[in-house]
């Protein structure tokens, strides 16, 4: 029998395989020996969903899983709360393998340790905002007064105070998704699973919801697994990003890793149109301080994006900035030339070398 999940709610996915078909387990070794997704389907009529997935998701961070349609990202997130059983591998939460949980343990795990936010909102149309928000707490048997207190707290935190008596059909899409987020947060689960949660929203509402999530995460520090097919969303939200293709991880790392060091042409094609100034941090491209730093340099904290640093440097009319840590200690230096060079993509550099002058967007 598995032990209760411990207080550290990081997630470790190890050697995970998922094959869809009547005799899935019989073909794991075939896949391990190199059989492709196409060969498995054509020869044996089975579908390869995930292949040798290994991801470490630290507690209290936002892990983004990104990929195009059919890449396996939604299949992967459903393994974390075992809505889908793996063909092989481990899903370890707080040192406990979710795959080995019995029915009672799994039910308790789903109720108390995880909450899910869906793309289609999944609100109950006959319930008000308040009654939708308390639903998970009702299932847990929490007293009504505590249900309402928790629900009203999160309804207010997601910006819906005054709407608690409205029904879903009286709300916009963005407001409905706020209800879904409030419902998930009201459960007070340490793990939040968000499967294409913002994909059905208009671009401006989507950016607003991203801001809501980032602001809340500063307070709640949950382990969030966020599924998306949108690179800009992934780069904005993810502490770490894993990019899938055909059920395999092509690259994983920070937004800086993905943008500056794409693993192959597939990833490079993804990131070629990214506004690097809004992604890359100053400490990623700074130079060592050397001896006797510039007397008139201005200071910017580590974590500052290049476009913000460039604007500050140009407004100050100084030659360099000095990057400092949270205690004010100097970490490195950066000139405007270094900033603009880092903001230009490799493709743009090739065009510049061919005689086409381009200016980075600041």
Map residue 59 onto helix, strand or coil: coil
Residues 55-114 pLDDT 10s: 999 999 999 999 998 899 999 999 999 999 999 999 999 889 999 999 999 999 998 999
Q: What is the Cα–Cα distance from 343 to 359, expressed in whole angstroms?
A: 10
Let me know if the fold of 11-113+189-271 is the same as that of 279-353.
no
**pLDDT at residue number 289:** 82
Of 146-150, 270-274, 356-360, which gets the smallest average pLDDT? 356-360
pLDDT of 141 above 60: yes
**pLDDT at residue number 347:** 58
Confidence of residue 346 (pLDDT cuts 50, 70, 90): low
**pLDDT at residue number 362:** 45
pLDDT of 293 above 90: no
Q: Tell which CATH architecture fits domain 279-353.
A: Alpha-Beta Complex (3.90)
Confidence of residue 360 (pLDDT cuts 50, 70, 90): very low
- In the chain, pLDDT over 90 holds for what percent of residues? 69
**pLDDT at residue number 24:** 96
In sequence order, what DSSP letters do the residues of 303-314 get, joined into one string? T-BHHHHHHHHH
pLDDT of 257 above 60: yes
Task: Assess contact for 358 and 352: CB atoms under 8 A.
Answer: yes
The number of angstroms, rounded, from the C-alpha of 316 to the middle of its chain's C-alpha atoms is 35
Structure tokens of 216? Answer: 């809340």
* Longest Cα separation, the chain: 71
pLDDT of 345 above 60: yes
Question: In the chain, what are the helix, strand and coil shares in percent, each to the nearest 5?
Answer: 40, 20, 35
Of 43-57, 192-206, 221-235, which gets the smallest average pLDDT? 192-206
Structure tokens of 292? Answer: 């006797």
- Domain residue spans of the chain: 11-113+189-271, 279-353
Residues 208-243 pLDDT 10s: 999 999 999 999 999 999 999 999 999 999 999 999
What is the model's pTM?
0.87
Give the CATH superfamily of 11-113+189-271: P-loop containing nucleotide triphosphate hydrolases (3.40.50.300)
**pLDDT at residue number 121:** 76
Task: Assess contact for 48 and 27: CB atoms under 8 A.
Answer: no
| Cα angle: 84, vertex 89, 94; to 5 degrees | 85
Confidence of residue 4 (pLDDT cuts 50, 70, 90): very low
């Amino acid at each position: 029998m598995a032990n209760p999940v411990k207080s550290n709610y990081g997630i470790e996915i190890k050697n995970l395989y998922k094959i869809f078909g009547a005799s899935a387990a019989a073909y794991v070794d075939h896949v391990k020996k190199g059989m492709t997704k196409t060969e498995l389907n054509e020869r044996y009529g089975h579908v390869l969903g995930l292949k040798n997935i290994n991801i470490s998701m630290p507690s209290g961070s936002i892990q983004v899983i990104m990929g195009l349609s059919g890449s396996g990202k939604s299949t992967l997130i459903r393994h974390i709360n075992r809505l889908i059983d793996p063909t092989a591998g481990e899903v370890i939460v707080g040192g406990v393998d979710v795959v080995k949980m019995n029915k009672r343990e799994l039910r308790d795990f789903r109720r108390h340790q995880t909450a899910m936010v869906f793309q289609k909102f999944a609100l109950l149309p006959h319930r008000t905002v308040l009654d939708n928000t308390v639903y998970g707490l009702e299932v847990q048997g929490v007293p009504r007064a505590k249900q309402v207190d928790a629900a009203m707290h999160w309804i207010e935190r997601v910006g819906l105070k005054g709407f608690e008596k409205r029904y879903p059909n009286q709300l916009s899409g963005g407001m409905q998704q706020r209800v879904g987020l409030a419902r998930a947060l009201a459960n007070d689960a340490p793990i939040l699973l968000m499967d294409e949660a913002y994909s059905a929203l208009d671009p401006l509402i989507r950016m607003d919801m991203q801001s809501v999530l980032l602001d809340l995460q500063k307070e709640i520090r949950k382990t969030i697994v966020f599924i998306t097919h949108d690179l800009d969303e992934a780069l904005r939200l993810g502490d770490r990003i894993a990019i899938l293709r055909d059920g395999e991880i092509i690259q994983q790392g920070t937004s800086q890793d993905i943008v500056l060091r794409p693993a192959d042409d597939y990833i490079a094609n993804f990131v070629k149109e990214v506004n690097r100034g809004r992604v890359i941090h100053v400490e990623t491209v700074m130079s060592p301080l050397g001896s006797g730093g510039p007397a008139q340099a201005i200071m910017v904290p580590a974590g500052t994006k290049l476009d913000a640093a460039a604007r500050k440097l140009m407004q100050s009319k100084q030659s360099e900035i000095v990057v400092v840590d949270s205690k004010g200690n100097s970490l490195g230096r950066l000139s405007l030339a270094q900033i603009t060079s880092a903001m230009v993509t490799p493709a743009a550099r090739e065009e510049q070398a061919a005689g086409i002058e381009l200016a980075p967007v600041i």
